[in-house]
Amino acid sequence: MAQTYIPRALEPVLAKVAREFPAVVLTGPRQSGKTTLLKHLFGRRYRYVLLEPPDIREAASVDPPGFLALFPPAVILDEVFPGSTIYAIMRK
């Protein structure tokens, strides 16, 4: 059964900041629809990379600049956690 997308009030704000800044961080509680929202707004134009699989997370932590170079903008990086090596590199 196909699920119906629920529009969020945050959509116009998120679209605006994505045009104005080179990187945007979307945080919130687990299972609150963050990934669904991002894929809905940007999924056709942005590449999606999930950092949850252990091999992907390892590649991102061993060589963050090299890993990021594999995915030039525009990209959605999902499951990037504060304190991780890649998060620190992205903040620069």
Prediction pTM value: 0.86
The CA-atom distances, in angstroms, between 35 and each of 19, 65, 92 are: 18, 23, 24
Asked if residue 87 is part of any domain, the answer here is yes
CB 50 within 8 A of CB 78: yes
Q: Which residue range(s) make up the domain with 81?
A: 11-91
> C-alpha distances in angstroms, 6 versus 33, 34, 36, 40, 84?
9, 12, 9, 10, 31
pLDDT tens for 13-28 read 999 999 999 889 999 9
**Crossing angle for the helix pair 11-20 and 34-42, nearest 10 degrees?**
60
The domain tally of the chain equals 1
Q: Is residue 70 part of a domain?
A: yes
Task: With respect to residue 4, please indicate whether it lies within any of the assigned structural domains.
Answer: no
Does a structural domain hold residue 5?
A: no
Residue 1 lies in a domain: no
The answer as to whether 84 is a domain residue is yes
Assigned domain for 35 exists: yes
User: 89 or 41, which is more confident?
Assistant: 41
Is-cis flag, bond preceding 15, omega within 30? no
